Amino acid sequence: MCIPPLAAARGGAHDLAGERGSGDVLQATDAEHARRTARVQPGVQSSDEGPGPWAGRGRRGHDGTRPATALYRGHAVLRRGSTSRRAGVIIGGMSTATTTQLSEALGTFAALFDEALAAGEPDRTAMTVATAALDGRPSARTVLLKAWDERGFVFYTHLDGRKGRELQENPYAALLFHWPRVREGVQVRIEGPVVIVSDEEADAYFASRPRGSQIGAWASRQSEELESREVFNRRLEEVEREFEGRDVPRPPRWSGLRVRPERMEFWYGAQYRLHERWLYDCDVAGDCRKRMLYP
């Protein structure tokens, strides 16, 4: 199988929508895995978006309070008490070996992502996003992948919804793709720090959404209690009247979140649950390695 080269930084992001198609069967060995990823281009560039604050106009929630922690563009920074630490980031300042490992992992994802399209997955962009609050209570939901490149994997949301609030408190997330129609079943697990996308990137994506979705983003108070559907319908009508005859701008507290991969695992299903697992992970110094795991 030919692995497509990685897109160039910034300009080469994969912009996505759900698609359908048809695929093949996995025969995975260490040698074959190396062969499958051998053509991936190793050039990964640093692409921090700079240290600007989380949301362009204020960082208060629906209730007017400020979050205890802040998520910054380009860097995830925890601020709690006297402790402050940057989240580990594997993009930028990496050794050649590290960039090669990252490129190989992203190339493998690209190949499997294409296979998911060919295999007829109902929506290959669907992924579980798991977060956790500071009390350790986890939560998970399914969202859609909207873009990905060597900087990470992007989804969009209200920043004051539950996942937005949890990612302000604890800016790390885990993603899970499950493509049961690919080969004998494939899962891709991705873990890492979360950063906000640039305003320009968020604006461009928001402008591409159907107008109804844009109106809904203004009308929804995501994750808050809703008295009735009629109340929501009235809010939709109010927002529609407000923007009648003009473009709908992006709400200031609606944006994209990019998960930067510190760990990427490829899980290939096999008979008798003798699965094959490959893990790419990076330590706090940014050194990455590839290893095989027991099923």
Catalytic residues: 273
Q: CA–CA separation, 52 vs 2, rounded Å?
A: 39
Which residues have C-beta within 8 Å of that of residue 74, sequence separation ≥ 6?
48, 49, 50, 51, 52, 195
- Please name the residue ranges forming H helices in 55-210: 96-118, 162-169, 199-208
Strands 254-259 and 288-293: unpaired
Backbone torsion region of residue 199, taken as left when φ is above 0, otherwise alpha when ψ lies between -120 and 50, otherwise beta: alpha
For the beta carbon of residue 255, count every other beta carbon within 10 angstroms.
Answer: 25
Burial class (CB in 10 A: 0-12, 13-18, 19+), 240: middle
Write the DSSP assignment of 255-295 as a string of letters.
Answer: EEEEE--SEEEEEE--GGG--EEEEEEE-TTS-EEEEEE--
Instruction: Using CB atoms within 10 Å of the CB of residue 236, give its burial: 0 to 12 exposed, 13 to 18 middle, 19+ buried.
Output: middle
Contacts of 201 (CB under 8 A, 6+ apart): 147, 154, 256
Residue whose C-alpha is closest to residue 107's, from 141, 148, 73: 148
